[in-house]
Structure 1
Amino acid sequence: MDEYGERVRRALTESGTSLRGAAKALSYDVAYVSRVINGKQSASPEFRKAVATVLGVPADPGPASYDDEEAAWDLARRVQASDVGGGTLERLELAFDELAMAYPKSSPEALLERIRKHSAYVGKLLDSKKTLAEHRRLLVVGGWLSLLGATVHIDLKQDDAATARLQTAATLARESEHPEIEAWCFETDAWRVLTAGDYSRALELSRVAQSLAPSGSSALIQATAQEGRALARLGESGATYDAIDRVHDLSSAIGEPDRPEHHYKYDPNKALSYTATTLAWLGDTAAEPYARGVIERLKPNDDPSRWPRRVASANIDLALVLVSGNRLDEACDAAQKAILSGKVAPSNHWRALEVVRAVEARALPEAAELRDAYRELRAADDL
């Protein structure tokens, strides 16, 4: 018996469907179905498609780990009152939370593969019979997954894919009447255009996000922080300091989240990171204690390869402010650590390059070594 035939047989057993009943549902001859199951005849593409629709057996099994995961979810789904079931939805929602918590430490490529698989499963369930409440929950989790996928695409400098996923997330947010997801879409787009150098557009998008975000929500705080960064790049110091103060006021009011590493749950400790970046872009030496505070709190050890991304980013912030203070040896050391950590996402390469160029402008001996490290970083991410 071949692998595909075994998967079809297993699906029949799990669903309690007889061979004759399956043949009738699939509109195929019993003998043909029997030959496929027993490995005596190859399944046609049309048959595989019908089996995927009726029995939920993928035409292409994909990676084994995903096949096992989906098979388990399908089995649980079949015993629910509807074709979707609350248990399946809970597992999907939990899977999204796990992905959002993995975001700060996972490689973008690996995370994106997992997001794709879960998003595909949501799409499959949207075609199933379900209640209105289940339909809305599917739209919401699909919106969150699309939003996180867009964020990863931005990290990888895949702008077209990021735009498509953001549009999908926004559509699902509106259909499910979920304003926080829609606010996050605008905030995420603000970050995308900020990394591209369109600071005025980033400022506009961050303010739209704030207008949509529910009061006291993480999206509101993050969008305010994004406004501050855009203002800093535009050199509007007074408005920048005002945005920093608003972020601190908003974040202090929500307290500690139960999942501080969740990308969409604002942790007041993140305010340190955003303040460091914002002040560094203003050229304000007050950025230094904030950057050092992030490094001290989050650095697990002296091995840069094990740092979370926020530590690498804080080292870039620290390097920028040290350069502006003419503390060049320390700046080179901080920048070198950030680059060699391997945790500077492609969307943040431009920030690392700012430090490299500042060091080169001062004709320091370390400039050549720093430039080589930056080239290796770019080459590794282009593979």
Structure 2
Amino acid sequence: MRESRGWSQAAAAEEMRRHSESALPDAQNLERRWKAWELGENKPGAHYAPIIAATLGTATASLFPPENKPATVDLIASSGMDTLEIVSRINISDINSATLDALRITVERLCSEYASSDPNSLIVEGRQWLRRLVELQDRRLTLSQRRETLELAGWLALLVGCLEYDTGRRQAAEATRQAALRLGAESETPGVLGWAHEMKAWFALTNGDYRGVIAAAEAGRGASGNHSVGVQLIAQEAKAYARMGRHREMEQALDIGRKQLDSLPYPDNIQNHFVVDPSKYDFYAMDCYRHVGDNDRARELSEEVIRAGTDFDNRERWPMRIAEARITLGVAAAREGDLDEALIHGRRALSGPRQSLPSLAMVSRDLGQVLADRYANEQEAAAYLEQIRSLARPS
């Protein structure tokens, strides 16, 4: 990140002063500390870590993750009930705290499977549980039970709507999003309301309605309170500004989002689709810098997205983020004259089993534009352009 800005270690250390509210040590001392941090000889403490992250334009927990990241728990086992038992309890009107805990954990599990499960299977399961939660509203529930079951239904509606949009079912996704918005209002849940607006911003972004993105993001921030979705809403604004050619507003939005993310506690379950984890900030920034033509920063961030999204056994935790990172690597290579490398990255991005078709089509257009502009007479480039165009066609 330092090198992509063209900074020496001394220059980077000096740049820290712009992001510190208190006086820092003299230049030699600060440079010595920076070198030690880069060599891994020591880890910055609580005072210096956010200053370094701000200097490099990223979130603190993305650059310096907690030593013991909260593990994603076995959500089924932790409920103490299997699906059959939960359904049986619902059917016999036995709605107590244990049943609600099991329902909550089931919804958490489903939301945590968003990135890795087959979307069509997850839609079916999500709809089944959504129907059960909605049917509960005809039963005798306490006010707190009714509110909680409506909230859980809201999260499931958001999940199903995202999956519908990923698979190209745009009209169904919008109807489900509106249902989630109503459930969020009925349950008075800021997070559900915020994510329903975030989905509207996402839909607008992939359709090229950039002013619609900004309007939806502003509405979402007003409804979501302190929920982490506020960071993603700001990120959608930054993406829209990048595509509108408003570079200054893009940078401002990224900086606001980074600061807001730094103010939030590290999430308990980073696999939950509706939790904004620190590593996702680099994913947002990567998209912006790719679109405005900052190849060095876009490439560096894409490599970090791939690293953070890949487990020790090379399993991809966030395959859709990684696909967009590969497109970014392809764009950078194509801009620098390496068509072969660009096509390798581009084809890998389109070959993944878990895809968000509208998002993948949107980012692929960045690569397609470079190929059309610079390699129009190359047969392999033309074949890839046709592959990109096929993403937007109904299957």
Range class of TM-score, shorter chain: 0.7 to 0.9
Structure 1 residue 372, shift from structure 2 partner: 5.8
Look up the match of 1:64: none
How many equivalent residue pairs? 311
5+ residue gaps in structure 2? Answer: 1-80
Look up the match of 1:76: 89
Structure 1 residue 150, shift from structure 2 partner: 1.3
CA gap of 1:209–1:331, structure 2 versus 1, over 3 A, is same
User: CA–CA distance in 2 between the matches of 1:265 and 1:310?
Assistant: 15
Which among 264, 267, 289 is matched to residue 257 of structure 1? 267
Report which structure shows greater RCO (CA 8 Å, sep ≥6): 2
Which among 347, 354, 363 is matched to residue 336 of structure 1? 347
Look up the match of 1:152: 163
User: CA–CA distance in 1 between the matches of 2:180 and 2:207?
Assistant: 21
Q: After superposition, give the CA deviation of every residue in 1:142-183 in whole Å (9 maximum; x if it has no partner).
A: 111111111112212222211211111111111111122111
Which among 302, 311, 314 is matched to residue 325 of structure 2? 314
User: CA–CA distance in 2 between the matches of 1:264 and 1:93?
Assistant: 14
- 8 Å CA contact retained: 1:339, 1:377: no
- 8 Å CA contact retained: 2:195, 2:220: yes
2:278 matches 1:268: yes
User: CA–CA distance in 1 between the matches of 2:213 and 2:224?
Assistant: 16
2:374 matches 1:356: no
Secondary structure of the equivalent of 1:189? helix
- 8 Å CA contact retained: 1:77, 1:87: no
2:237 matches 1:227: yes
Q: Which amino acid aligns with 2:174?
A: T
Alignment of 1:298-309 (within 5 A): 298-300=309-311, 308-309=319-320
User: CA–CA distance in 2 between the matches of 1:372 and 1:199?
Assistant: 26
Secondary structure of the equivalent of 2:301? helix
User: CA–CA distance in 2 between the matches of 1:303 and 1:373?
Assistant: 26
Q: Which amino acid aligns with 1:180?
A: G
Structure 1 residue 371, shift from structure 2 partner: 3.9
- 8 Å CA contact retained: 1:313, 1:344: no
**Range 324-333 or range 218-227, more displaced:** 324-333
Look up the match of 1:366: 380
- 8 Å CA contact retained: 1:287, 1:317: yes
User: CA–CA distance in 2 between the matches of 1:239 and 1:152?
Assistant: 31
User: CA–CA distance in 1 between the matches of 2:312 and 2:368?
Assistant: 25
Q: After superposition, give the CA deviation of every residue in 1:224-283 in whole Å (9 maximum; x if it has no partner).
A: 111111111111100001111112111122242121111111101111111101111222
User: CA–CA distance in 2 between the matches of 1:91 and 1:122?
Assistant: 12
Structure 1 residue 71, shift from structure 2 partner: 4.5
Secondary structure of the equivalent of 2:276? coil
Identity of aligned residues (%): 27
Q: Which amino acid aligns with 1:154?
A: Y
Structure 1 residue 94, shift from structure 2 partner: 0.9
- 8 Å CA contact retained: 2:123, 2:163: yes
2:113 matches 1:102: yes
Look up the match of 1:49: none
- 8 Å CA contact retained: 1:179, 1:213: yes
Q: Which amino acid aligns with 1:170?
A: L
User: CA–CA distance in 2 between the matches of 1:177 and 1:151?
Assistant: 21
User: CA–CA distance in 2 between the matches of 1:266 and 1:195?
Assistant: 20
User: CA–CA distance in 2 between the matches of 1:126 and 1:174?
Assistant: 15
Q: Which amino acid aligns with 2:345?
A: A
Look up the match of 2:56: none
User: CA–CA distance in 2 between the matches of 1:189 and 1:375?
Assistant: 24
Look up the match of 2:248: 238
Secondary structure of the equivalent of 2:263? helix
CA gap of 1:156–1:149, structure 2 versus 1, over 3 A, is same
CA gap of 1:228–1:357, structure 2 versus 1, over 3 A, is closer
Look up the match of 2:133: 122
Secondary structure of the equivalent of 1:130? coil
Structure 1 residue 209, shift from structure 2 partner: 1.0
Secondary structure of the equivalent of 2:168? coil
5+ residue gaps in structure 1? Answer: 1-67
Structure 1 residue 365, shift from structure 2 partner: 4.4
User: CA–CA distance in 1 between the matches of 2:323 and 2:305?
Assistant: 10
Q: After superposition, give the CA deviation of every residue in 1:110-165 in whole Å (9 maximum; x if it has no partner).
A: 21111111101111211111111111111100111111111112212222211211
Structure 1 residue 302, shift from structure 2 partner: 10
| TM-score, structure 1 as length reference | 0.74
- 8 Å CA contact retained: 2:190, 2:223: yes
User: CA–CA distance in 1 between the matches of 2:313 and 2:350?
Assistant: 14
Look up the match of 2:357: 346
Structure 1 residue 89, shift from structure 2 partner: 1.8
Secondary structure of the equivalent of 2:286? helix
Which among 196, 201, 204 is matched to residue 185 of structure 1? 196
**Range 187-196 or range 102-111, more displaced:** 102-111
- 8 Å CA contact retained: 1:187, 1:222: yes
